Every structure is written in structure tokens, then in C-alpha cells.
């Protein structure tokens, strides 16, 4: 058995919140396709989502049901908190075949359970839930009344409990260690892949007290011209003598991700980099002066925008998003975004990764913080000097 | 610029094959949602697929078009081979919003291009293409005639060119290095996370001549009871004194993945492990005696099955699948499967990862090879002793 990350009471609390929303919306059965949401509800953890996998939450107060590939049900018994009969495997002969689909089997299971004519809420924008899987599920449940349940669980996740915040503090320590390691190993002539190897080792080995987990976003190290684009992967390119390098690194503990972006400079800092960094750091101060309960997400962005406009800069993309339990390919929760038009009122327990990425023409810098909204204001969980780290 | 992994002629060849199938099926525009297929066609490479991303292949002989998030178009200019106007960004204000969807914008772009009333082939079982994205695309293209194009590109990918095989050879070297590193670092009392850190560092740093890339499946190390389940992730658990450990590790070079599973034993080898290993190794011999051009996928499985039945064993799941260019969450190509009923006739250039995983009650072993079908038979690209590695 893998130790559960949370006490059972925590899972019951989560289910209570989910069922309250289901009841309000008239949903009698929730089909959860988002892998992070599945883990949030059940504790199930495995790299099995490349075949279809669902979690079913009935409105009545019984345990949820995990259904996935038969060979992965064994992993369900080792990681999920429910009783064994609530961990269900579909047969191996349904894996990646043209003539049948796991969702045929899952739909039949739901019908056999007597849930086939329910009001069913479903997440239609989950990463590993395909249009074909959806079509087969709908075909197999002709008497269901369908409800859009996208982000239902995600919005509940946006408010973190104390045990979740404890993991995010540990994750933040790992993110700091990853950036510190990057500062150590990156130097002119070093290959990107060698730097990434050292950084990933720091992310995964974790601390003497706890392991690091796989990061939902792989480490990004954007040196030179690559820093004009945010999501380029590493290669065997060697860092140059004079290069500005944007680092966007995670720390992850029991699937909880903290993000931390920093920028380092090899050789002499160009004036444009120094000037932009000054503006961005001042912008982060404005963000941190603004984040508190009762403020809107868009007000935080407006505070940033006011600063950088004064410096003659602009940024098209949002400057942050809710972060927490995460599986690849994203650590964002798809709820709160710090951008114009997002009128979400921040509340204690929200955690946002505010990432001030300036991807310019042929260069770029990034500075970020993982920020907890507290009762009275905020706390940056990531604690690390914000200045450009110069290595000359 | 990131150096393209292949010459432009290779991409033209791929497009030629794709267009031949499109013509045969009456498809005038192919919408490619599978990220590995997108890379295969365009060279585009970035961790950007957490927002919608498509590649469009028109039937006429013009360059394909990549469309993704505006901030990632910069990465398209650095990694894809097409001319800049064929790398298109949808506006940032379409990212993760309730009131609009990137697919609305992409559909409008297709209409504006004059392709809105075409026969359109689409992949409906791609990992990062959601039912909602599909619904919005269809709504935005009311005059299209839709064709199921799932696996159209994947089946072309199933036959590898010489330059692709060259990458798979390099990937196999990295997989071997990863297993060798695992043998070194795993010992009683060592934490799983520390072993994974060392193994990932080997996978990523690669060789002095080339970088290792992110692996589509993270390393799995299944020790003790965890070996009863194939896809459990690591933790801070310490390896025991007497423990059988199944390792399933990848090597990846320029996105080409080779898989290599091996088993190690700490302390004394239990008889059941030794006996099962003997049967499995004999089964692998039978696989390798059978794989050649003209044989069917199911005949390979039958040869394995005959051996293990004689040893009183059985295995429900398939024993292998086509492998090649890969992005998370899967390194399999979803085409050839070594299992009953798969009548695919093997041909030179096919590469299969034959994984003989025996997940038993409370323990397990795994042995695999990445196998190239040659003109005359086969060659195991992974070259590494198959015996259980005993460390006592």
C-alpha cells in the first residue's frame, strides 16, 4: 500500500462539497474524466490515463467508483481509499481496438448499476477524454440526461485546505532547490540536457524528509533566442558566453505543484534585460500589494499592467492562474486567471502562480511566485531572491 | 533555431504518403490533433499542447499549417520547417475561457482559407483533443463533410525510415544506460525517489554525442508489492532487503522512444521469481524467433503463449505494440498490437516494444525488448542481458 496523502476525513469533506454543487445543479451522477480531479477525489495515482479512466460520484453518500484498465485496477487497490469493489477494471481486450471501446463497457457498467437514466454531469474538456470516448459513452447511455460539469470539481479545488497548503509549502521548497541547482550548474559551454538532468534530479530526489514527484510541466530553460518562446524543450545546445536564461521550474510533493520562474544572466547584463527586470520586479511588488481576500483576479492584473505601462512595456497573456494538484500536461487548474475580465473574488486558501513572462523578440525573462491568499492578505510560498542572477 | 531532426525531404515523403491515403479515402483536408503526429508532420516541438493545437494538411501540395496559442507560435518559428505564415497563433484571450474557445477561432480560420466546405478527416481519439473542442470545431464548420481519420498518420508512422531507425538506435543506447544506472543505484535502504533521480539524470543527459529527451512514460520502478500493478509511481519508500524489482525504462532521442524492461532481485531470488523469469526469457526467445516480415502480430503472441502455457502461466494483456516518436502520456503508436486477433502483417521498418510483464499477486517481473523488423527477420535494438540481475 502507498500511504494516502490525506486523512479519509479530507476526502469526505471534498465529496461533501462536490455533492452540494451536484444537488444544486440537479446532477445525480458525476462522471469525472480529469485525472487530477480523479486523484483529488479518490487518491488513485498511476500512469494509467493513456487508456480511458473515469471516476463516478453518485449523489447518494456512498463511496466513489474508479474504473480503468484491468491491469491498473491492481494499482487502484494500492493507492485509492475506497473499498476493493469500488475499484473496477475493464477487460484487457477493450484496449485500443477498432471494434470495441472501453467506454462501451463503462456505459454498460453504469446501466447495470441502475444509474443509466440519471441526470449525469460530465467533464467535456478533460485532457485524456477523447471525442470518440465521449460519443461511445453517450451511445451506451441513451436514457441519461446530460449536464455540463466542466470545472465543477476544479472550482472546489481552487480553495485549499491546510493539509493541501502543507504540501504546497514542501513543493515550494523543492522549486527553490531546483532554481538553486540551475544557478549552480548552468554556465557557458554547458549543454542544456546536462543542466536539465541535474535539475530534474533535484526535483525528484526531493528532500531528506519527502520525495519529489513528476512535474506536470517538464523543466523549461529558455536560453538566448529560445527565450522568445515560452514552451521550447531542451536540446544538446550549449549555453553561450553572454546569454539571458529564463527558468520555469516546479517543485512537486504528493502531486501538489509549486511553480517558480527566475532569470539568470551569463556574462554582462544587457541594458534591455536590466530595465525589463526592474519593471517586472516592480510589477511583482504590485501583484503582491494587491492579492488579498475580496480583490478580484482582474484587479491584480490591472495593478501589474499599470506598472509595466509606465515602463513602456506590455504583455498580452494572463499573468497567473490557480495552481495545486496536477498531472501532466498542465499544473494550472483552469479556474482563476489573473487577466482582464476575470471577476473571480479571491478568498483565503486560493493559491495562484503569478508568472510574469516577457517573451520578447529574440530574448526573454521570467519571474514568478506561487502565492497563497491568506485571511489578511497573502504569503509567497516560494521564497527566493527575485533579482536576475548574474554569473559572469 | 533548433536543428530539425530530419531533412526536409523526409517530411515531404511523409506528406506524400499521408496525401496518398487522403486521396484514396476522399479526404481533402486532414485535421491532425495527435501531438506526436503533429511533430511527425511539421517538426513542431514544444510543451504547448495543454491548450488546443492542430496541424492542417490540405490535399494539395502546399505546406501544412500549425495552429496553436499565440505565445507558442514563436516556438513554431523556431522548431517547425514550414514558412512563417504557416505557423499561426490564436489570440491569448481565447485561452481557457467559458465564453469562447480556440476551436471557434480555428474553425473561422479554416473557413476564411476557403476550406470550410471540404471533406475533412479528423482524429477523434487524440489525447489532448477534448469533446468540447470537437463540438466547437464542428459547430464552426457547418458545411464540412466529416471523415474518421483516426490512426491514418499512425499507420504511416508504423513503418520507420532509416533516419528514424538511427534515432531509435540512439534511444536504445539511452534505455540501456538507464537500466545500467538502475542496477547501480538500487539497493536495500535506498529511497525510490533517489533511484529515480539518478535514472532520470541518465535518461536526460544522454550521451556525450546527443541529448536525451523527456520520456513519454516516466520511469517505473515497481518494487515489492507495487510490482503487482504496472503503472504505480515512485515515492519515498525504501527498497527492502529481499525484493524483486521490475524496471520499465525508456531512452528517448529527438522524441523517438525505445523501451527496455528488466528485473532485478535484492537478496535471495525466490523460486517463483526464478521459475517465472525462466519461462519469460524462453517466451522472449520465441517472440524473437517469430518476428519477421510476413508474420502476423497475433502469430508472435501465439508463439509466446505456447511457451508460457507449457510453464503453467498466462497473461491477459497484449505483449507488445508499435513504438516510435512519442509524447506523453504514451509511447505506443496505437496501431500494431501483439495479441490474439491482430492480423497485421509485419513488414520491414516496423518497430515493436515487446513487453513481457507478469504482474502477479503481490509481486511481479518484466522483461522487454525494442525490436526492429528487418528485411530478413529482426534485430533487437536494445542489447542488454536478459537475466534477472541479482544484487545480494
The domain spans of chain B are 8-157, 162-391
Task: Pick from A124, A125, A211 the residue to mutate for testing the B interface (most B CBs within 10 Å).
Answer: A211
| Residue in A with minimal Cα distance to B359 | A71
Cβ contact, residue pair B48, A330, below 8 Å = no
* 3-class SS of residue B300: helix
The arithmetic mean of pLDDT across residues B159-169, rounded, is: 98
| A289/B contact by beta carbon, under 8 A | no
Considering only CB atoms, which chain A residues are within 8 Å of B210?
Answer: 236
ipTM over 0.90: yes
| Residue in A with minimal Cα distance to B208 | A236
Q: Is the peptide bond before A202 cis (omega within 30 degrees of 0)?
A: no
- Closest CA relative to residue A145, chosen from A123, A124, A116, A119: A119
Task: Pick from B231, B325, B338, B356 the residue to mutate for testing the A interface (most A CBs within 10 Å).
Answer: B231
> In this structure, what DSSP letter does residue B380 have?
E
**Using CA atoms, how far apart are residues B322 and B354, in angstroms rounded to an integer?**
9
- Closest CA relative to residue A36, chosen from A310, A255, A349, A266: A255
Number of residues written out for chain B? 392
Cβ contact, residue pair A318, B92, below 8 Å = yes
A297-311, B35-49, B295-309, B358-372: least confident range:
B358-372
Q: Which of residues 233-252 of A touch B (CB under 8 A)?
A: 233-237
**Side-chain half-sphere exposure of B324, counting CA atoms within 13 A:** 27
* 3-class SS of residue A31: strand
Task: Pick from A148, A155, A229 the residue to mutate for testing the B interface (most B CBs within 10 Å).
Answer: A229
Considering only CB atoms, which chain B residues are within 8 Å of A228?
Answer: 74, 78
Summarised one tens digit per residue, pLDDT across range B363-387 is 999 999 999 999 999 999 999 999 9
Q: Could you identify the residue written with the cell 465529496?
A: A15
- Kindly indicate whether the domain formed by B162-391 is annotated with CATH number 3.30.930.10: no
Whole-number Cα distances in Å, B295 to A167, A169, B334, B356, B379: 52, 56, 19, 19, 15
**Using CA atoms, how far apart are residues B279 and B311, in angstroms rounded to an integer?**
6
Instruction: Identify whether the C-beta of residue A25 lies closer than 8 Å to the C-beta of residue A147.
Output: yes
Instruction: Identify whether the C-beta of residue B197 lies closer than 8 Å to the C-beta of residue A205.
Output: yes
**Using CA atoms, how far apart are residues A159 and A328, in angstroms rounded to an integer?**
21
Instruction: Identify whether the C-beta of residue B172 lies closer than 8 Å to the C-beta of residue B251.
Output: yes
| B207/A contact by beta carbon, under 8 A | no
Q: Which of residues 167-196 of B touch A (CB under 8 A)?
A: 191-194, 196
Percent of chain A with pLDDT over 90: 95
Q: B351-359 and B320-327: which strand pairing? A: antiparallel
What pLDDT, on a 0 to 100 scale, did the predictor assign at position B229?
84
Cβ contact, residue pair A75, B316, below 8 Å = no
Residue A202, pLDDT > 80, answer yes
The arithmetic mean of pLDDT across residues B52-58, rounded, is: 98
Cβ contact, residue pair A211, B235, below 8 Å = yes
Cβ contact, residue pair A201, B206, below 8 Å = no
* 3-class SS of residue B281: helix
Summarised one tens digit per residue, pLDDT across range A53-78 is 999 999 999 999 999 999 999 999 99
Summarised one tens digit per residue, pLDDT across range B188-228 is 999 999 999 999 999 999 999 999 999 999 999 999 888 88
- Structure confidence at residue B93 as a pLDDT band (50, 70, 90): very high
Cβ contact, residue pair A206, B214, below 8 Å = no
Smallest Cβ distance to A78: which of B78, B232, B329?
B232
Cell numbers found for residue B244 = 524483486
Smallest Cβ distance to A74: which of B124, B127, B229?
B229
- For the four alpha carbons of A277, A280, A286 and A288, in that order, the dihedral sign comes to negative
- Closest CA relative to residue B240, chosen from B194, B196, B187: B187
Considering only CB atoms, which chain A residues are within 8 Å of B321?
Answer: 96
Burial of B240 (0-12, 13-18, 19+ CB in 10 A): middle
Instruction: Please name the fold of domain A8-157.
Output: Creatine Amidinohydrolase; Chain A, domain 1 (3.40.350)
The arithmetic mean of pLDDT across residues B325-336, rounded, is: 97
Dihedral of CA atoms B117, B118, B123, B128 in degrees, nearest 10, equals -50
- Closest CA relative to residue A221, chosen from A182, A190, A269, A270: A182
What pLDDT, on a 0 to 100 scale, did the predictor assign at position B2?
80
**Using CA atoms, how far apart are residues B296 and B90, in angstroms rounded to an integer?**
44
What pLDDT, on a 0 to 100 scale, did the predictor assign at position A362?
86
**Using CA atoms, how far apart are residues B323 and B336, in angstroms rounded to an integer?**
9
Cβ contact, residue pair A45, B210, below 8 Å = no
Instruction: Identify whether the C-beta of residue B363 lies closer than 8 Å to the C-beta of residue B244.
Output: yes
Cβ contact, residue pair B213, A236, below 8 Å = no
The arithmetic mean of pLDDT across residues B330-353, rounded, is: 98
Distance from CA of B250 to the nearest CA of A (A): 14
**Using CA atoms, how far apart are residues B7 and A268, in angstroms rounded to an integer?**
37
Between chain A and chain B, the number of residue pairs with CB atoms below 8 A apart is 233
H and E: helices and strands count for chain A: 10, 15
Beta bridge partners of B29: B58, B120
Smallest Cβ distance to A329: which of B128, B134, B205?
B128
> In this structure, what DSSP letter does residue B257 have?
E
The arithmetic mean of pLDDT across residues A69-98, rounded, is: 95
- Closest CA relative to residue B303, chosen from B340, B272, B350, B255: B340
Considering only CB atoms, which chain B residues are within 8 Å of A316?
Answer: 70-71, 91-92
Instruction: Identify whether the C-beta of residue A78 lies closer than 8 Å to the C-beta of residue A100.
Output: no
Q: Kindly give, in sequence order, each residue whose CB lies less than 8 Å from that of residue B255, ignoring residues fewer than 6 positions away.
A: B5, B36, B39, B45, B213, B325, B326, B327
Backbone angles phi, psi at B265, to 5 degrees: -125, 120
- Structure confidence at residue A224 as a pLDDT band (50, 70, 90): confident
Amino acid at each position: 500500500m502507498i500511504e494516502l496523502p490525506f486523512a479519509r476525513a479530507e476526502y469526505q469533506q471534498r465529496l461533501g462539497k462536490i455533492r452540494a454543487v451536484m444537488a444544486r445543479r440537479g446532477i445525480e451522477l458525476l462522471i469525472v474524466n480529469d485525472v487530477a480531479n480523479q486523484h483529488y477525489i479518490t487518491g488513485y495515482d498511476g500512469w494509467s490515463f493513456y487508456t480511458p479512466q473515469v471516476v463516478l460520484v453518485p449523489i447518494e453518500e456512498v463511496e466513489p467508483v474508479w474504473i480503468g484498465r484491468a491491469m491498473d485496477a491492481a494499482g487502484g487497490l494500492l493507492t485509492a481509499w475506497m473499498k476493493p469493489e469500488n475499484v473496477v477494471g475493464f477487460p484487457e481486450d477493450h484496449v485500443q481496438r477498432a471494434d470495441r471501446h472501453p467506454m462501451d463497457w463503462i456505459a454498460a457498467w453504469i446501466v447495470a448499476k441502475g444509474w443509466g437514466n440519471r441526470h449525469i454531469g460530465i467533464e467535456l474538456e478533460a485532457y485524456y477524454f477523447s471525442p470518440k470516448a465521449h460519443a461511445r459513452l453517450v451511445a451506451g447511455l441513451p436514457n441519461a440526461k446530460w449536464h455540463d460539469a466542466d470545472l465543477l470539481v476544479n472550482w472546489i479545488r481552487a480553495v485549499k485546505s491546510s493539509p493541501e497548503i502543507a504540501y504546497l509549502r514542501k513543493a515550494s521548497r523543492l522549486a527553490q532547490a531546483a532554481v538553486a541547482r540551475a544557478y549552480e550548474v548552468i554556465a557557458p559551454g554547458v549543454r542544456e540536457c546536462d543542466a536539465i538532468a541535474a535539475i530534474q534530479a533535484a526535483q525528484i530526489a526531493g528532500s531528506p524528509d519527502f520525495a519529489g514527484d513528476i512535474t506536470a510541466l517538464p523543466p523549461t530553460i529558455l536560453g538566448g533566442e529560445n527565450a522568445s518562446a515560452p514552451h521550447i524543450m531542451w536540446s544538446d545546445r550549449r549555453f553561450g558566453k553572454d546569454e539571458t536564461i529564463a527558468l520555469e521550474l516546479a517543485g512537486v510533493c504528493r502531486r501538489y505543484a509549486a511553480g517558480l520562474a527566475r532569470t539568470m544572466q551569463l556574462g554582462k547584463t544587457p541594458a534591455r534585460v536590466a530595465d525589463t527586470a526592474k519593471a517586472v520586479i516592480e510589477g511583482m511588488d504590485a501583484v503582491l500589494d494587491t492579492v488579498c481576500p475580496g480583490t478580484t483576479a482582474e484587479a491584480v492584473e490591472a495593478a501589474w499592467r499599470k506598472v509595466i505601462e509606465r515602463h513602456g512595456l506590455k504583455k498580452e497573456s494572463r499573468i497567473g492562474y490557480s495552481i495545486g494538484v496536477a498531472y501532466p500536461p498542465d499544473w494550472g487548474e483552469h479556474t482563476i486567471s489573473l487577466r482582464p475580465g476575470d471577476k473571480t473574488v479571491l478568498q483565503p486558501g486560493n493559491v495562484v502562480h503569478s508568472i510574469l513572462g516577457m517573451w520578447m523578440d529574440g530574448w526573454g525573462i521570467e519571474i514568478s511566485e506561487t502565492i497563497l491568499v491568506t485571511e489578511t492578505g497573502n504569503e509567497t510560498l516560494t521564497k527566493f531572491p527575485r533579482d536576475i542572477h548574474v554569473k559572469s
